Amino acid sequence: MQTRVAAGVLALAVAAGGQVVLRGRAQAPTSAGAIQPQPLPGRTQARSMVISKLGIVAASQTLAAQAGAQILAEGGSAADAAIAANITLGVVEPMMNGMGGDLFAIEWDAKSGHLSGLNSSGWAPEHETPDYLRAKGYKEMPGAGIDSVTVPGAVRGWEALHAKFGKLPWAALFQPAIYYATHGYPVTEWISAEWQSAQQKLERDPAAKAEFMPEGHTPRVGEVFRNPSYARALELVAAKGPAAFYDGDIARAILATEKRLGGVMSAEDLADFRPEWVQPISTAYHGWSVYELPPNTQGFGALEMLNIFAHFPLAQWGFADPRTFFVKTEAQKLAYADLRAYDGDPRMAKIPVTGLISKAYGEARAAQIDMNRANCSTPPGDAARFNSDTVYLTAVDADGNIVSLIQSLFSEFGSGVVVPEYGITLQNRGSLFVLTPGHPDVLAPHKRPFHTLIPGFMQKGDLHMGFGIMGGLNQAQAHAQFVSDIADDGMDIQAAMEAPRFTNLSFGGCTFQVENRIPRAVRDALQAKGDTLRLVNAYSDHMGGGQAVMHDSATGVNYGASDPRKDGEAVPQPPALGPKGGGK
């Protein structure tokens, strides 16, 4: 019989003086089909997992998760549900998602056990070069505006997923989003705050201000927001397919916006774009196989961190031991130094991926950690020596198929440029290029930039899990922490999603943001070794927001989890009911 990690616990103890201390504790593995409850009288996680024999969709906004669950109830696949939820997120969480952004996904086929990776990140315009930008006065890539815009990949990504794994008609997947864009929806709490934080960016573009500040201000919590312009764009793509976006009326509107603002994107840049099916990369970590997407994503950074973790007894030390956090923060520095040095578009740069995720390289990087002193200036490693050759929402259907999907505009409201006729915000992914000659991520025509988006997947025995945690450079380090919470500390997927996290939203240095739930003893120990910590709220948006689903192939039961750092939920598929309320 297969063994499995039980639903573990963070045991809560109150130390002298009333200080709360978290102790990680993994329960002993149990026989197949027996995920154990947490012991009474209490627990430290706030919510239970969602558990169902039918499908589950977990997304960062409840209406989007519900849209996906509705699609499952109509007979759709996990891919159909993920696409519908993603399209709906572009309406109800418009600062983060939409047709103007990029998309990555991993699909696990329950019948064959096969994993498919999809890279639908767009490329730079053919006429946008380092010399072109320098002539315009740029010394580095612009963070916003028309020159930060790359070709949006999301719509072609939906098409590719639907063609390969979809069951329902294409147009059906757009109906929930069209409804909310047309009739409106009450704006939720996190989303209202994030919308407000982008007000200055919106005010710089008249079309953006008109579209997303219709009353002269960003929507407040509970205010009903409608987006009829975006509804027209959705209706066009639903009726005419991706051609409407890349070759038709929407493409012409995008190009007119480019011309008006002095951009150089051409009709060919849009029409010629196609996504790429890729092979996920992976590592083994304490019995789990963990998968990410290869460059141009930061996926190898998560795997490299796990390979470093493996050389320390984190499970023995426990979740909240200062040594555990120190190893994790030091591993982040090492992996992120490599991310900046090596990541880029593998079609145009040689990237030593095999070396970067090798066990030997992880051992070499782990040996550089001095347990007594923080390293605040971490150079990249020589990954080529270990090289043998040279990418949130998630859904599971009743058959166990899983889609792990992430899509965004990058910064809040992307480039800040909105296509006025259709309310489409264009992403600013181009800002992640560099202008340094010879760098793997140097800007070049039809090149894809370094990408922060990463969908994750992991499996052990009968357990198969799609997961992801958004938030720019937070993602690889959050993935590694999530995997460790499960593999080392025996947490269930909801507990791991809620567990306190740290993040460093840069490529180097010793400054970390840490949630105030991390015990003082841990924080004091890290600072004593040389790290600078900035204390943030208990559930901080700086840590991103994640979702997870899990399928147990021995029992056919599905599990869902949603991060309290967002407005979302894991929503189970409702049963199909006959006209008298009974099953069909």
Q: Of residues 390, 436, 511, 532, which has the active-site annotation?
A: 390
Helix-helix angle 228-240:78-92, to 10 degrees? 150
Any idea which residue has 């021995």 for tokens?
A: 554
- E strand map for 129-241: 185-186, 224-225
Which two tokens mark 556? 């056919």
C-beta neighbour count of 365 within 10 angstroms = 25
Q: Is 80 helix (H, G, I), strand (E, B) or coil?
A: helix
- Strand pairing of 30-31 and 3-4? antiparallel
What does the buried/exposed string (b/e) look like for 200-216 if buried means 16 or more CB atoms within 10 Å of the residue's CB?
A: ebbeebebbbebbbeee
From 442, 449, 423, select the one nearest 149 (Cα to Cα). Answer: 449
Q: Which contiguous run of DSSP H or E holds residue 46?
A: none
**In angstroms, how far is CA 454 from the centroid of its own chain?**
5
Contacts of 565 (CB under 8 A, 6+ apart): 190, 539, 540, 541, 543, 544, 545, 546
Query: Whole-angstrom Cα distance, residue 443 to residue 287?
Result: 40
Is residue 257 part of the annotated active site? The answer reads no
Distance, CA of 490 to CA of 548 (rounded, Å): 16
Catalytic (active-site) positions: 390
